[in-house]
Structure 1
Amino acid sequence: MSNIDLFDEYTAAIFAELYEHFPLRRSIASEAIIGLALDPADPPPRVPHELRVYEATVEWLAGSGFIALSGNGHQGDATLTLRGLEVMKVVPASVRDHNSLGDSLVSAVRSGGAAAGKELVAFGLTQAFRLMGQGVL
C-alpha cells in the first residue's frame, strides 16, 4: 500500500474512534488502532514501515489541529479538536441518508470498508482545507 493509502486508512480509523467517543479521550496507541506495536528492542531501522506511517499520521493530524494529544504522543490519548469535530459534522452530498461524515466514517470502519473510509477522509480533509482557506476553521 502507498503511504497516502495508509494515511487515509489510519486517519479514517482514528477519526472514527475519536468521533464515536467524543468528547472522551481515547487511546490512539498503534496497537489499538492498527494492531501494530513498537517493540522497544527494535532499533529505528527495524520499525515496520506501516508503524512509521501511523506515527507520522498522528503527528500530522495533531500538528494540523484536527486532534489534541495527551500523554506520550502517538501512544497516548487523544480527542477531536473543534476543527476535527467540524470536519466530522460535514454531510457529503453523496450520502443519501444525510449522515454526517463522522457517522458515515464510523459505519465504514466498523464494516471493514477501508475503501469507503479512505474516500470519506479525502472528502473531509478537502472540505477542511476549503473552510480553512475561507478562514472558517
Structure 2
Amino acid sequence: MFKDLTSHLKEKNVHSLNVVPSNNIELFDCYTGLILGALYRHFPLPITLTAEDFIDYKGAEAGNRAALEKEEDLFMGTLKWLADVGYIHFDGMSGISFFEVVLTNPGLLLLRAFPEGADTAPTIGEKLSQCLNNETNAELRGLVTEALSLGSRMIRPMTRSGI
C-alpha cells in the first residue's frame, strides 16, 4: 500500500502493504495516478506494467496473502478500467502483467491539459510523472480526480472490451 508516496516510492514505484488507503477508491486513485504518470513519462513507447512494479511483495508478511490478492485484483481492475474507458491500450496480459501498455490519443490529450486555474504550470501528465519526487497521496489523488473529471467531459462513454 502507500507509505507517504514521496519517500517510499522513490526507489521502485512500490507501496508497502502495511500502510493502506482506507478504501478501494483511494487505492484506485493512487494506482491510476502512478500508472498514467509512468505511461506519460515513457510515451510514445509502450511498456510492460506488472503488479510487482507497484506492490511491495518483500514487505508483505506470510499471513498477508489475502491482502496481496486484493491488491493485485485492484491493480488489474484499475488497468482494465483505464483501457475500457479509452485512456490506455494494452496488447495482452498474463497473470498480473500487462504488455505493450501505452496511452491512447484521448489519454494523452487528457494528460497534456493544464490543471484547473493554470495556463503555464506543468501539465497534469507532467505532475503525475513527477509524483514520486514531490507529490503526497492527497495531491496525487487530487490530480487523478481532476484528470478523470476532465476526461469524462472529453471522452464519449465506451463499452467494456471483454478483456
In which range does the TM-score fall when normalised by the shorter chain? 0.7 to 0.9
Closer, same or farther: CA 47–108 of 1 in aligned 2, 3 Å: closer
- Cα pair 1:16 1:109 within 8 Å, conserved: no
* Structure 2 unmatched ranges of 5 or more: 1-21, 59-65, 157-163
Is 2:106 the partner of 1:83? yes
Is 2:64 the partner of 1:64? no
Is 2:142 the partner of 1:116? no
Q: Percent identity?
A: 29
Q: Distance in 2 between the 1:30 and 1:130 partners?
A: 30
- Cα pair 2:51 2:72 within 8 Å, conserved: yes
* Structure 1 unmatched ranges of 5 or more: 38-44
Deviation at 1:97, TM superposition (A): 5.0
Offset from partner CA, 1:93-130 (integer Å, 9 cap, x none)? 35575111000111223335222111101100100111
1:41 corresponds to which residue? none
Is 2:67 the partner of 1:49? no
Partner letter of residue 76 of structure 1? Answer: F
CA RMSD of superposed structures (Å): 2.3
- Cα pair 2:131 2:140 within 8 Å, conserved: yes
Q: Distance in 2 between the 1:46 and 1:120 partners?
A: 26
When normalised by structure 2's length, the TM-score is 0.69
1:42 corresponds to which residue? none
Deviation at 1:89, TM superposition (A): 0.6
Deviation at 1:36, TM superposition (A): 4.8
Partner letter of residue 75 of structure 1? Answer: S
2:34 corresponds to which residue? 13
When normalised by structure 1's length, the TM-score is 0.80
Match among 149, 153, 159 for residue 126 of structure 1: 149
1:40 corresponds to which residue? none
Match among 122, 138, 144 for residue 99 of structure 1: 122
Q: Distance in 2 between the 1:12 and 1:36 partners?
A: 20
- Cα pair 1:30 1:36 within 8 Å, conserved: no
Q: How many residues align?
A: 127
Runs ≥4 in structure 1, deviation > 4 angstroms?
A: 94-97
Closer, same or farther: CA 5–46 of 1 in aligned 2, 3 Å: closer
